[in-house]
Amino acid sequence: MFTLGGRAGPGGRATTAGGGGASVPGVPTYRISEAASLLGVSDDTVRRWADSGLLPTIREPGSRLAVDGAVLADFLVRRGADAAPVTAAGAPIVAESARNRFRGIVTQVTRDKVMAQVELQAGPFRVVSLMSREAADELGLEPGVLAVAAVKSTNVVVEVPGR
């Protein structure tokens, strides 16, 4: 099993904590701080959500809590659907670029023989990219995988950060 930082339990699976989610082979797990960064909230908020059962966690070797990537992807989709629209009102725009990068979690990958449709949830933003199936396969894109959508003009390019 591939996990960020190699944090998988025996047999390539992380163990479940408190009746939470189970790890899926091939999908990374995220430390509480990593999940918080992707969700745009504090570590304490993620822990509160985990304690309340809102966000299932798994226990990795060394008793470290983590969130399975597929579970985090589902949570991001549900949270993004409930989020209020983001506007620039009240916040000055200090910089902008034609090459925007949206760091997020892959939430869905639909493949056919030639093409793939990849959906990312980057904070409250849902980003969709169409690419060759070969590219999606080479990047290992599956729900729960951390990826970056780079946007230039009308094209969205999905990148996977170094592991």
Q: pLDDT by residue (tens digit) across 18-51?
A: 334 455 566 788 999 989 888 888 899 999 999 9
Gyration radius (Cα) of the chain, Å: 16
Give the pair of three-digit tokens for residue 137: 């396969």
Query: For 11, phi and psi rounded to 5 degrees?
Result: 70, 15
Give the pair of three-digit tokens for residue 73: 């992807």
Q: How far apart are CA 67 and CA 20, in angstroms?
A: 9
Instruction: Give 14's pLDDT tier (boundaries 50, 70, 90).
Output: very low
Q: Is 51 helix (H, G, I), strand (E, B) or coil?
A: helix
pLDDT higher at 53 or 63: 53
Q: Do both 109 and 57 map to the same domain?
A: no
In CATH, what number is assigned to the domain containing residue 140?
A: 2.40.50.100
Q: How far apart are CA 44 and CA 117, in angstroms?
A: 34
Q: How far apart are CA 69 and CA 59, in angstroms?
A: 13
In CATH, what number is assigned to the domain containing residue 35?
A: 1.10.1660
Instruction: Give the CB-side neighbour count of residue 25, counting CA atoms within 13 A.
Output: 3
| pTM to 2 decimal places | 0.54
Report the pLDDT value the prediction gives residue 131, as an integer from 0 to 100.
Answer: 95
Q: Is the residue at 83 inside a domain?
A: no
Residues 72 and 148: beta-carbon distance below 8 Å: no
| Range list of β-strands (E), the chain | 15-16, 29-31, 58-60, 64-68, 100-111, 115-122, 125-132, 146-152, 155-159
Q: Is the residue at 28 inside a domain?
A: yes
Query: For 161, phi and psi rounded to 5 degrees?
Result: -65, 160
Closest to 33 (Cα-Cα) out of 72, 61, 70: 72
Residue type, 95: A
Where is the domain boundary, 27, 45, 68?
68
pLDDT digits (tens, 9 = 90+) for 56-101: 999 888 888 999 998 998 888 887 666 554 444 455 545 555 467 7
Q: Is the residue at 49 inside a domain?
A: yes
- How many domains would you assign to the chain? 2
Q: Do both 8 and 50 map to the same domain?
A: yes
pLDDT higher at 65 or 1: 65
Region of residue 86 (left: phi > 0; alpha: psi -120 to 50; beta: else) = beta
Q: Is the residue at 93 inside a domain?
A: no
| Structural domain range at position 117 | 100-159
Instruction: Give 105's pLDDT tier (boundaries 50, 70, 90).
Output: very high
